[in-house]
Amino acid sequence: MDISIIGSGHVGLVSGACFADLGNRVVMVDNDSSKITRLKRGQVWFYEPGLKELVRRSLKERRLSFTHSIAMAVRQSQVIFICVGTPPLPNGEADLSSVEHVSREIARSMSTYRLVVEKSTVPVQTGEWIKRTLQSSVRKNIPFDVASNPEFLREGSGIQDFLHPDRIVLGVETQKAKELLLALYEPLNAPIIVTDVKSAELIKHASNSFLALKISFINAVARICELSGADVVQVAEGMGMDKRIGRSFLNAGVGYGGSCFPKDVAAFIRIAEKLGYDFQLLKAVSQVNTDQRHHLVKRIASSLWNLKGKTIGVLGLAFKPDTDDLREAPSIEVIRLLQEAGARVKVFDPEVMAQMDRSFPGVLGCRDVYEVARGADCLVLLTEWNEFKELDFKRVKRLMRQPLVVDGRNLYEPQRLRKLGFHYLGVGRSDS
């Protein structure tokens, strides 16, 4: 099938590369011409395992092409996916101006039937706005459909998630739109749910918000564990064995970050408000997430008496492992709070060091974990990279000024570190 994808960010590029790999001819569009130039050479500017290889293969086999011209893409494709950014406005609402702009451009370039599919994360009822925009800009009598096909791709495993999804959600209004999308996704042989457009839009926000809720719930339980002497890892195991609850997304820690959960929770609160519902439950989810970061810093401070003049070594900056993404990463707030309290901060992250100076003024970047440990009063783990799992802890202890480890992702076995002579603090794990 001939398709085009407007917006070559994480979602757009992963989707485009995967659709091309499945044998479709895909035109990728972006208004940033430097991105297009790099993509034409097979260069991907963010870290996503396997993506560069997939892009290069499809480029070579001429199934994938790149342009900055929406008109050219629309002329060549029957199905057009909108994957542009929907960043948050100061009030939490999603900024839909790019979706509007792109919809207008698509309409102006249409000469025969087109299916326009929203894949960007958008508030419920955006499909109606897209339809109205297309109607007002399209030349007379050219038929079109609007559909919603939300994405559920995680950064770091986007290709795997695209090719082996738990479900594909297709929000459609006509048989034709349904048939086109079913044909496109048929090779994946995955469970498909067909809904109306608004329900599909809501599935996305409700799913991300529910996952965020699971994380904040277990983080709130972690606080009770700390106060009562229970262990949140054991509590999560026990809860997760109930199939109705499930074990995933019950890992207590320093809280969720990234370009999706914080933004989508805020947007969902705002959508509800605009529709006339006060979504108090989600407001609490967001508050618990913010509190987790402050609480971690308070625990470090109280273990060191105070933070003034202390050296804190931070392991991991990215919002999660296997990505170089710093957007809404807990590390940003934690480091800011540490610095505000007078601490000196040293850091190491396997992927993020190039962005260090810009994102973390006044922080000392190190080559590896051991350089971070040298002279530190405390080591704080904020991202559970695989390479942090097996450290030479005897060496780490020799290098540190005080043997305090604060494990913001519960990566380590408390007993093991305590046996080695560390004062170990996890999230929701008893202190002794």
Q: Shortest distance, CB of residue 399 to ligand UGA, whole angstroms?
A: 27
Residue list 76-135, contact with ligand UGA (CB under 6 A)? 121
Size of the site for ligand UGA (CB under 6 A): 20
Q: Shortest distance, CB of residue 197 to ligand UGA, whole angstroms?
A: 18
Length of the chain as a residue count = 432
Catalytic-role residue among 18, 225, 260, 378: 260
Q: Shortest distance, CB of residue 258 to ligand UGA, whole angstroms?
A: 4
Query: Where does 321-392 have alpha helices with state H?
Result: 330-340, 356-359, 369-373
Q: Degrees (nearest 5) of the Cα angle 218, 222, 226?
A: 170
Q: Shortest distance, CB of residue 152 to ligand UGA, whole angstroms?
A: 4
The 214-233 contact track toward ligand UGA, x by CB under 6 A, reads -x------------------
Q: Shortest distance, CB of residue 335 to ligand UGA, whole angstroms?
A: 15
Residue list 152-191, contact with ligand UGA (CB under 6 A)? 152-155
Measured CA to CA in angstroms, residue 150 lies from 11, 41, 75, 82, 181 at distances of 10, 29, 24, 10, 12
Contacts 24+ apart (CB under 8 A), 415-418: 417/393
Closer CB to ligand UGA, 235 or 376, in the complex = 235
Closer CB to ligand UGA, 26 or 222, in the complex = 222
The 245-264 contact track toward ligand UGA, x by CB under 6 A, reads ----xxx-x--xxx-xx---
Residue list 307-326, contact with ligand UGA (CB under 6 A)? 319-320
Measured CA to CA in angstroms, residue 415 lies from 59, 221, 397, 422 at distances of 51, 21, 15, 10
Q: Degrees (nearest 5) of the Cα angle 23, 24, 28?
A: 130
- Rounded CA gap, 233 and 139, in Å? 60
Q: Shortest distance, CB of residue 154 to ligand UGA, whole angstroms?
A: 4
Sign, CA dihedral 41-47-48-49, equals positive
Per the annotation, the verdict on 260 as an active-site residue is yes
User: What is the residue-wise DSSP string for 80-94?
Assistant: EEE----PBPTTS-B
Closer CB to ligand UGA, 83 or 399, in the complex = 83
Residue 428 makes contact with ligand UGA by CB under 6 A: no
Residue 208 makes contact with ligand UGA by CB under 6 A: yes
Closer CB to ligand UGA, 258 or 414, in the complex = 258
Q: Shortest distance, CB of residue 357 to ligand UGA, whole angstroms?
A: 23
Segment near ligand UGA (CB under 6 A); pick from 208-216, 226-234, 349-357, 372-380: 208-216
Closer CB to ligand UGA, 107 or 252, in the complex = 252
Query: Where does 48-187 have alpha helices with state H?
Result: 51-60, 70-76, 97-109, 126-137, 158-163, 175-185
- Rounded CA gap, 254 and 332, in Å? 12
Closer CB to ligand UGA, 113 or 210, in the complex = 210
Closer CB to ligand UGA, 59 or 271, in the complex = 271
Residue of 48, 118, 145, 151 that binds ligand UGA (CB under 6 A)? 151
User: What is the residue-wise DSSP string for 3-51?
Assistant: EEEE--SHHHHHHHHHHHHTT-EEEEE-S-HHHHHHHHTT--SS--TTH
User: What is the residue-wise DSSP string for 139-152?
Assistant: PTT--EEEEE----
Retrieve residue 317's tokens: 């900056």
Active site residues: 260
Q: Which residues bind ligand UGA (CB under 6 A)?
A: 121, 151-155, 208, 211, 215, 249-251, 253, 256-258, 260-261, 319-320
